[in-house]
């Protein structure tokens, strides 16, 4: 007898902090449902993420920390398919048993008074599940309004009212009883005269509604198609008012309706060919699902493709469909006719009308009366251009010029224009032509112009700041102590300023805390000093710009001039400042960020500078980066605040929100979605989860969304402004900067370009930028140009480690899970393989292949080979193959993907011994560092700060400075007696005491004096003695080893390099690559996006449509940005050449050559090395 498999039980998640009631509910539901419980809203979100599916959510409104409705709101924002979950809210509300449908919460299926009987809740859950099941119909049906447009003759039933109609049957309201299964002839008459005679069968009687459901038995295909066309016309929206009524979240004042059938078909077919993303928004919610067109069957149906559509939608759902071609957005409404059995295709009604969305910062209105414009033209024309105004707003207008008038070009400045009503001049303006098109037939026969008011242009000054002195580092200059700035300084001032961060804490008006750091060039006194305020860039913390603070203070100190630099973490942003409970941990720290809060933070710091007793400002320089330029604009447009700031430097700053967001999100236009009323919810932006809807709405309210709004602001900002942009920054458009900076105003303006991308922190280019900023600020304060000196590498490292070490370590919580997502991808996205299409990445592959000089007979080991991209490049090139290729990586699934990808394309790799794939951890045992210390291979204890996690550099230096024979014995594992313990406590602070005792326990463990893994209080030593002390490879087996972009992500790379030296043959080559410090993602990702978007359909990789590639690129950009954030936090290390060369020297490798690689300018480099010979032996 064949055994049948029981269907899985529906999953019910209960969230309630009343443990007794929770237990009662769980016992009542057990057996019929798979029940999960939690007392916390935060834990509920984690459970929903972890479980494969949740069918029913029962949540108490009165939860601690996070209310039940807040949980539902959060759920609705984070999960696109939140409406698929049945939600029951337990509350004291009076609307017991009702359904609520709110835009912020999503659909709440039922509200029940608490405490409700658990058995009643069980019955309600059963009813709601059954109700949802009935909603999933096999074909579309249309509810009719009883207007009499369609008539039906029912024969035996007598008088009957048609309630709803589908292609498969009807529901008739009648007083006549008819048994189920009975035959029923029908005659259907449509308004256009078409008639159908159909044989039907009663399939259901409904006593509640008083009628019968009848199934069609004899409807032919042409009649069925005719019915579908009728239903399509019946539900089609005919005007914008009707659209607004059905979709209240849409902003219909931004739309224009058209019904040209040829134009509609051509636009949909273009979207099909281009495989553009389509946002499909159900009428019952504002949550979009991203789909693509699969097929067009004009004029009957259009097919939309996606995944699990049978779960997310149901037949008869009305959908608002939106997609973008170029800079235009097109929209239409449709209804789902059928859902394919595999859940991957929606068969929808073909649209009869479409809507075009106009993009404007301000809503324009059609003028009342006869409004005209009159524009005096300069010589040689010597006449006035006249036209009729078609629409107007406070910021601009459109007008149609009279026929035969001279044509104006986009960008033409209009020094004078008059707005006239009849012959009366209402007012005069200046402006600039922003758009030129041909007028529509109903508007006239001339050209139509779009004008922005208030824009006058001036020439802007382009400045070349003095180059920093790279040949002379500040700490290396022999005359450093002789500088006048050092005279009279306390002996330890410079060292303390580097190694002991000065933390400040201040509150805003709501009592929320801002945490900052102060660096000073000279000791503070009661005299006011110039202050530089540095707000945080998007997704960055105050520690990111430590190199800037050091460069500023070091140069001012050398010149004997006072200066204070204030960096701080923003409220509701990353870092130590106040955040909301649900956003305290990564990756949610930026969840509730907004421009208003950023502007308020700047004002709070300005207020603090006026009120605090420690630091008084003689002048204030506001120095912003990236998105904080928009927050500065909000502050500075207030004249009272503007008078408090003496000079503004915008560095890598964006003048507007929209274009930058489109670029960093791979073409996804947040502002467009907001203007249409489409909810995007919580989405990753540069590796940070952000409530996009609230973020964009705040940008719109604060008028920082568009370039037109930036021009308007710059008209009024009467203070000196310098705007610095990177020549290789592909995210911020330099033409936008020059545009807004050329707006006429009575204040100095200058624009400076520097040879850098979008990021600056510790690279040579970043330090050059900081030197430029230093020179500009010194010139502003002291009217003198200086050649800045760069801080020394050791000073930079001491300050970096000091600021990093005072914070909790930031690590990957689940290393394997992260690298799996990074390499393999999730939800059918392709992970790292999307980079195989990048020309920059292919350049790196070519450079590595050339460096390896592969020949037949070679044995190649690709350490950290991921999904086999390098070997794929090698095989596709058709060159000579090694006799053995081994790919090794941490992630087994990456090895599986590599095997499938390579062996299916290159059968030669199936030969025995040709290709091996090994899943292994390149991270060597953390206890190796302790072992080397015990063996005397480490020179000083200070060196252990790089080898033991959570051993701060400052503590290592203090322990080294107080080193003694007794301490040496303790560190080597001698039993700590009571006398030893007393001695340590009297000589060292608590932090150093715990480090020493932890180190002692680790030494005893390594030496076998303590059998159990030590319980450490300060140091972090993951793994055991059984960890990876050696890779599972025979010594001297491979003669070629590649480590492509992997060394930066290993905690102790020296140990891995030493192990690579053991397994390489004498004379063999080690080729390794690394990204450089301040790696700029803007160029490589923008170039790859442009390449994908321009690829014709027949050039796309197999089974990888354009939409999948763009979504994969968007996902990978966010994953890669998380790596950059971890590198900035000190978890990883994108090596500068000096550091990597020192590391190779330390581990016994001789550098043969270095090849800059990965784009132009190069974002990485390839090192070609071989094992250094010692005493004649390698």
Average pLDDT, integer, range 950-972: 92
pLDDT of residue 405: 83
pLDDT band at 140 (very low <50, low <70, confident <90, very high): low
pLDDT band at 861 (very low <50, low <70, confident <90, very high): very high
CB burial of residue 109 (10 Å; 0-12, 13-18, 19+)? buried
Q: Kindly tell me if the per-residue pLDDT of 1070 is higher than 70.
A: yes
Stretch (H or E) spanning 789: strand 789-790
Q: Kindly tell me if the per-residue pLDDT of 1 is higher than 50.
A: no
pLDDT band at 464 (very low <50, low <70, confident <90, very high): low
Q: Give Cα separations from 11 to 7, 14, 53, 135 (angstroms).
A: 12, 10, 7, 19
More confident residue, 335 or 580: 580
Choose one of 116, 135, 154: the last residue of a domain: 135
pLDDT of residue 438: 83
Stretch among 175-179, 604-608, 1076-1080 having the lowest mean pLDDT: 175-179
pLDDT of residue 626: 93
Q: Kindly tell me if the per-residue pLDDT of 324 is higher than 50.
A: yes
For 611-620, what is each residue's pLDDT tens digit?
998 999 999 9
CB atoms within 10 A of CB 642: 16
CB atoms within 10 A of CB 17: 15
> In 3-state terms, the chain is what percent helix, strand and coil (to 5)?
35, 25, 40
Stretch among 241-245, 651-655, 689-693, 1147-1151 having the lowest mean pLDDT: 241-245
CA-only gyration radius of the chain, Å: 35
Q: Kindly tell me if the per-residue pLDDT of 72 is higher than 90.
A: no
Q: Kindly tell me if the per-residue pLDDT of 227 is higher than 60.
A: yes
Task: Give CA–CA dist 102/99, Å, rounded.
Answer: 10
pLDDT band at 656 (very low <50, low <70, confident <90, very high): very high
pLDDT band at 354 (very low <50, low <70, confident <90, very high): confident
Q: Kindly tell me if the per-residue pLDDT of 1028 is higher than 70.
A: no
pLDDT band at 94 (very low <50, low <70, confident <90, very high): very low
Torsion of the alpha carbons at 906, 912, 915 and 918, rounded to the nearest 10? 140
pLDDT of residue 48: 85
Long-range contacts (CB closer than 8 Å, 24 or more residues apart) made by 581-584: 581/42, 581/65, 581/66, 582/41, 582/42, 582/66, 582/74
Q: Kindly tell me if the per-residue pLDDT of 149 is higher than 90.
A: no
> Same domain, yes or no, for 382 and 526?
no
Average pLDDT, integer, range 568-576: 96
pLDDT of residue 542: 96
Q: Give Cα separations from 1128 to 590, 800, 1076 (angstroms).
A: 17, 10, 12
pLDDT of residue 247: 66
> Same domain, yes or no, for 197 and 69?
no
Number of H helices, E strands in the chain: 33, 48
CB 1089 within 8 A of CB 667: yes
Q: What is the pTM of this model?
A: 0.73
Q: Which of 1075, 1086, 1091 lies closest to 1157, judged by CA? A: 1075
- Residue 677, token pair as written in the block: 């009323």
pLDDT of residue 129: 77
Q: Kindly tell me if the per-residue pLDDT of 89 is higher than 80.
A: yes
For 297-317, what is each residue's pLDDT tens digit?
888 889 999 888 887 788 778
Concatenate the DSSP letters of all residues of 296-354 into one string.
Answer: EETTTEEEEE-SSHHHH--TT-EEEEEEEETTEEEEEEEEEEEE-TTS-EEEEEPPS-E
Concatenate the DSSP letters of all residues of 594-619 into one string.
Answer: -HHHHHHHHHHHHHHHHH-SS--EEE
Task: Give CA–CA dist 422/409, Å, rounded.
Answer: 27
pLDDT of residue 101: 43
Average pLDDT, integer, range 854-863: 95
Domain assignment present for residue 256? The answer is: yes
Stretch (H or E) spanning 376: strand 371-376
**DSSP single-letter state for residue 367:** P
How are beta strands 100-102 and 106-108 bridged, if at all? antiparallel
Domain assignment present for residue 691? The answer is: no
pLDDT of residue 520: 96
3-state secondary structure of 1040: strand
CB 671 within 8 A of CB 743: no
- Residue 463, token pair as written in the block: 């400045």
- Please report the beta strands in 512-616, taking only residues with DSSP state E, as ranges in sequence order: 513-520, 529-534, 564-568
Tell me, rounded to whole angstroms, the distance of Cα 657 from its chain centroid: 14
For 407-445, what is each residue's pLDDT tens digit?
888 778 888 899 888 888 888 888 888 888 888 777 888
> Same domain, yes or no, for 602 and 630?
yes
Tell me, rounded to whole angstroms, the distance of Cα 277 from its chain centroid: 18
Stretch among 17-26, 218-227, 973-982, 1058-1067 having the lowest mean pLDDT: 218-227
CATH number for the domain that contains residue 393 = 2.40.10.220
For 884-935, what is each residue's pLDDT tens digit?
999 999 999 999 999 999 999 999 999 999 999 998 888 888 899 999 999 9
Domain assignment present for residue 184? The answer is: yes
pLDDT of residue 392: 81
> Same domain, yes or no, for 563 and 600?
yes
Average pLDDT, integer, range 995-1018: 92
pLDDT of residue 172: 82
Task: Give CA–CA dist 77/99, Å, rounded.
Answer: 19
pLDDT of residue 96: 46
For 510-564, what is each residue's pLDDT tens digit?
999 999 999 999 999 989 999 999 999 999 999 999 999 999 999 999 999 999 9
Domain assignment present for residue 439? The answer is: yes
Stretch (H or E) spanning 356: strand 354-357
Choose one of 92, 108, 135: the last residue of a domain: 135
Task: Give CA–CA dist 390/400, Å, rounded.
Answer: 7
Q: Give Cα separations from 773 to 173, 546, 575, 776, 789 (angstroms).
A: 79, 14, 25, 5, 12
pLDDT band at 104 (very low <50, low <70, confident <90, very high): very low
Stretch among 29-38, 146-155, 774-783, 1075-1084 having the lowest mean pLDDT: 146-155
pLDDT band at 287 (very low <50, low <70, confident <90, very high): low
pLDDT of residue 235: 67
> Same domain, yes or no, for 743 and 852?
no
> Same domain, yes or no, for 387 and 437?
yes
Q: At what angle do helices 869-877 and 839-852 cross, to 10 degrees?
A: 70
Q: Kindly tell me if the per-residue pLDDT of 318 is higher than 90.
A: no
> Same domain, yes or no, for 95 and 24?
yes
CB 253 within 8 A of CB 366: no
pLDDT band at 1101 (very low <50, low <70, confident <90, very high): confident
Mean pLDDT of the chain: 85
> Same domain, yes or no, for 627 and 717?
yes
Q: Kindly tell me if the per-residue pLDDT of 234 is higher than 90.
A: no
Domain assignment present for residue 1011? The answer is: no
Is the C-alpha dihedral spanning 896, 898, 903, 905 positive or negative? positive
pLDDT of residue 99: 45
CB 551 within 8 A of CB 764: no
Helix residue ranges, H only, 6-56: 19-29, 41-50
> Same domain, yes or no, for 351 and 382?
no
Q: Which of 99, 16, 96 lies closest to 58, judged by CA? A: 16
pLDDT band at 459 (very low <50, low <70, confident <90, very high): low
Average pLDDT, integer, range 282-311: 83
CB 902 within 8 A of CB 936: no
In the chain, the percentage of residues whose pLDDT exceeds 90 is: 39
Average pLDDT, integer, range 1017-1040: 85
Is the C-alpha dihedral spanning 219, 225, 226, 232 positive or negative? positive
Task: Give CA–CA dist 364/360, Å, rounded.
Answer: 8
CATH number for the domain that contains residue 71 = 3.40.50.2300
Q: Kindly tell me if the per-residue pLDDT of 360 is higher than 60.
A: no
> Same domain, yes or no, for 322 and 395?
no
Q: What is the domain extent for residue 975?
A: 948-1006
For 550-570, what is each residue's pLDDT tens digit?
999 999 999 999 999 999 999
Domain assignment present for residue 565? The answer is: yes
pLDDT of residue 285: 62
pLDDT band at 47 (very low <50, low <70, confident <90, very high): confident
Q: Kindly tell me if the per-residue pLDDT of 761 is higher than 70.
A: yes
Q: Kindly tell me if the per-residue pLDDT of 1131 is higher than 80.
A: no
**φ/ψ (deg, to 5) at 801:** -65, -35
Task: Give CA–CA dist 372/423, Å, rounded.
Answer: 9
Average pLDDT, integer, range 49-60: 87
pLDDT band at 839 (very low <50, low <70, confident <90, very high): very high
pLDDT of residue 478: 43
Q: How many domains does the chain have?
A: 7
Task: Give CA–CA dist 650/720, Å, rounded.
Answer: 11
pLDDT of residue 141: 65
Domain assignment present for residue 677? The answer is: no
> Same domain, yes or no, for 159 and 185?
yes
CB atoms within 10 A of CB 536: 28
Task: Give CA–CA dist 517/505, Å, rounded.
Answer: 9
> Same domain, yes or no, for 971 and 1072?
no
Task: Give CA–CA dist 655/734, Å, rounded.
Answer: 10
**Residues in contact with 328: Cβ distance below 8 Å, sequence separation at least 6, in sequence order:** 356, 357
More confident residue, 833 or 369: 833
pLDDT of residue 333: 86
pLDDT band at 284 (very low <50, low <70, confident <90, very high): low
Choose one of 232, 249, 283: the last residue of a domain: 232
- Residue 1177, token pair as written in the block: 């032996």
Q: Kindly tell me if the per-residue pLDDT of 469 is higher than 60.
A: no
Q: Kindly tell me if the per-residue pLDDT of 856 is higher than 90.
A: yes
Average pLDDT, integer, range 1109-1122: 86
């Amino acid at each position: 007898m064949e055994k049948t498999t029981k269907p899985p039980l529906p999953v019910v998640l209960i969230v309630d902090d009343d443990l007794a009631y929770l237990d009662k509910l769980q016992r009542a539901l057990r057996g019929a449902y798979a029940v999960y419980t939690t007392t916390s809203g935060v834990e509920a979100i984690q459970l929903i993420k972890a479980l494969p599916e949740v069918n029913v959510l029962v949540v108490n409104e009165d939860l601690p920390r996070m209310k039940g409705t807040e949980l539902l709101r959060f759920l609705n924002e984070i999960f696109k398919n939140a409406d698929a979950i049945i939600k029951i809210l337990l509350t004291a509300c009076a609307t017991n048993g009702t359904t609520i449908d709110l835009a912020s919460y999503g659909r709440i299926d039922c509200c029940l008074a608490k405490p409700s009987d658990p058995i009643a809740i069980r019955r309600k859950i059963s009813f709601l599940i059954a109700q949802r099941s009935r909603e999933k119909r096999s074909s579309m049906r249309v509810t009719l309004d009883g207007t009499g447009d369609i008539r039906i003759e029912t024969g035996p039933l007598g008088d009957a009212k048609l309630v709803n109609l589908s292609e498969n049957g009807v529901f008739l309201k009648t007083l006549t009883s008819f048994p189920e299964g009975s035959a029923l002839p029908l005659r259907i008459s449509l308004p256009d005269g078409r008639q159908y005679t159909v044989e039907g069968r009663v399939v259901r009687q409904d006593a509640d509604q008083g009628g019968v459901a009848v199934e069609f038995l004899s409807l032919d295909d042409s009649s069925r198609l005719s019915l579908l066309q009728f239903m399509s016309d019946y539900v089609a929206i005919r005007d914008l008012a009707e659209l607004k009524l059905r979709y209240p979240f849409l902003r219909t004042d931004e739309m224009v309706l058209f019904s040209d059938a040829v134009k509609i078909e051509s636009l949909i077919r273009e979207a099909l060919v281009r495989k553009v993303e389509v946002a499909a928004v159900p009428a019952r919610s504002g949550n979009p699902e991203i789909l693509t067109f699969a097929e067009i069957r004009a004029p009957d149906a259009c097919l939309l493709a996606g995944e699990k559509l049978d779960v997310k939608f149901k037949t008869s759902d009305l959908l608002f469909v939106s997609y973008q071609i170029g800079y235009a957005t097109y929209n239409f409404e449709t209804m789902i006719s059928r859902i394919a059995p595999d859940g991957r295709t929606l068969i929808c009604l073909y649209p009869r009308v479409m809507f075009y969305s106009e993009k404007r910062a301000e809503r324009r209105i059609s003028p009342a009366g006869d409004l005209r414009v009159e524009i005096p033209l300069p010589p040689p024309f010597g006449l006035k251009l006249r036209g009729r105004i078609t629409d107007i707003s406070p910021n601009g207008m459109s007008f149609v010029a009279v026929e035969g008038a001279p044509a104006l070009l986009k960008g033409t400045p209009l020094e004078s224009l008059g707005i006239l009503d009849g012959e009366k001049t209402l007012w005069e303006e200046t402006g600039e032509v922003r758009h030129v098109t041909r007028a529509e037939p109903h508007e006239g026969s001339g050209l139509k112009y779009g004008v922005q008011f208030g824009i006058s242009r001036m020439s802007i000054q382009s400045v070349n700041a003095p180059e920093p002195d790279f040949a002379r580092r500040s700490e290396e200059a022999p005359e450093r102590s002789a500088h006048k700035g050092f005279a009279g300084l306390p002996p330890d001032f410079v060292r303390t300023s580097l190694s002991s961060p000065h933390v400040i804490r201040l509150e805003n008006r709501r009592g929320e805390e801002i945490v900052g750091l102060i660096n000073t060039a000279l000791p503070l006194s009661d005299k006011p000093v110039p202050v530089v305020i540095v707000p945080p860039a998007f997704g960055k913390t105050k520690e990111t710009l430590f190199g800037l603070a050091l460069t500023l203070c070091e140069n001012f100190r050398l010149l004997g001039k006072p200066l204070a630099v204030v960096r701080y973490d923003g409220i509701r942003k990353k870092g130590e400042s106040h955040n909301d409970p649900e956003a305290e941990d990564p990756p949610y720290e930026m969840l509730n960020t907004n421009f208003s809060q950023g502007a308020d933070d700047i004002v709070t710091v300005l207020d603090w500078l006026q009120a605090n007793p420690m630091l008084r400002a003689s002048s204030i320089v506001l120095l912003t980066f990236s998105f904080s330029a928009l927050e500065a604009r909000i502050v500075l447009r207030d004249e009272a605040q503007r008078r408090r700031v003496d000079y503004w430097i915008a560095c890598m700053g964006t003048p507007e929100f929209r274009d930058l967001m489109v670029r960093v999100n791979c073409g996804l236009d947040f502002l467009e979605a907001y203007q249409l009323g489409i909810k995007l919810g919580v989405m990753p932006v540069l590796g940070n989860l952000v409530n996009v809807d609230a973020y964009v709405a705040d940008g719109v309210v604060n008028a920082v969304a568009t370039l037109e709004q930036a021009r308007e602001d710059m008209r009024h900002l009467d203070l000196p402004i310098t705007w610095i942009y990177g020549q290789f920054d592909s995210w911020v458009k330099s033409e936008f900067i020059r545009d807004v900076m050329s707006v006429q105003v009575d204040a100095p303006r200058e624009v400076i370009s520097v040879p850098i991308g979008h990021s600056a922190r510790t690279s040579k280019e970043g330090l050059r930028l900081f030197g430029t900023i230093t020179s500009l600020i010194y010139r502003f304060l002291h009217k003198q140009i200086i050649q800045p000196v760069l801080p020394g590498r050791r000073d930079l490292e001491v300050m970096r480690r000091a600021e990093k070490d005072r914070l909790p370590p930031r690590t990957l919580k689940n290393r394997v899970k992260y690298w799996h997502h990074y390499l393999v991808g999730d939800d059918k996205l392709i992970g790292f393989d999307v980079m195989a299409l990048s020309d920059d990445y292919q350049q790196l592959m070519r450079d590595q292949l050339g460096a390896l000089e592969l020949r037949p007979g070679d044995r190649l080991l690709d350490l950290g080979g991921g999904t086999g991209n390098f070997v794929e490049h090698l095989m596709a090139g058709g060159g000579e193959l090694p006799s053995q290729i081994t790919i090794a990586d941490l992630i087994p699934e990456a090895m599986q993907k590599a095997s499938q990808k390579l062996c299916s394309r290159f059968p030669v790799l199936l030969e025995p011994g040709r290709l091996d794939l090994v899943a292994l951890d390149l991270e060597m045992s953390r206890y190796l560092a302790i072992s080397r210390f015990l063996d005397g291979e480490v020179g000083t204890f200070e060196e252990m700060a790089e080898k033991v996690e959570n051993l701060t550099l400052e503590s290592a230096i203090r322990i080294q400075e107080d080193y003694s024979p007794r301490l040496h014995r303790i560190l080597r594992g001698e039993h700590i007696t009571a006398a030893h313990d007393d001695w340590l406590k009297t000589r060292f602070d608590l932090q150093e005491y715990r480090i020493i005792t932890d180190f002692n326990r680790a030494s005893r463990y390594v030496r076998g004096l303590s059998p159990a893994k030590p319980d450490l209080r300060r140091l972090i030593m993951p793994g055991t003695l059984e960890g990876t002390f050696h890779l599972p490879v025979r010594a001297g087996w491979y003669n070629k080893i590649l480590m492509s972009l992997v060394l930066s992500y290993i905690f102790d790379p020296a140990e891995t390099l030493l192990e690579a030296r053991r397994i390489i043959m004498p004379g063999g080559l080690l080729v390794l690559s690394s990204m450089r410090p301040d790696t700029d993602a803007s160029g490589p990702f923008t170039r790859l996006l442009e390449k994908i978007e321009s690829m014709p359909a027949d050039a796309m990789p197999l089974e990888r449509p354009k939409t999948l590639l763009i979504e994969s690129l968007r996902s990978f950009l966010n994953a890669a940005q998380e790596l950059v954030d971890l590198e900035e936090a000190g978890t990883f290390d994108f090596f500068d050449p000096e550091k990597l060369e020192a590391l190779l020297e330390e581990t016994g490798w001789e550098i043969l050559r270095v090849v800059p690689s990965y784009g132009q300018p190069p974002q990485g480099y390839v090192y070609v090395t071989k094992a250094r010979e010692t005493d004649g032996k390698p």
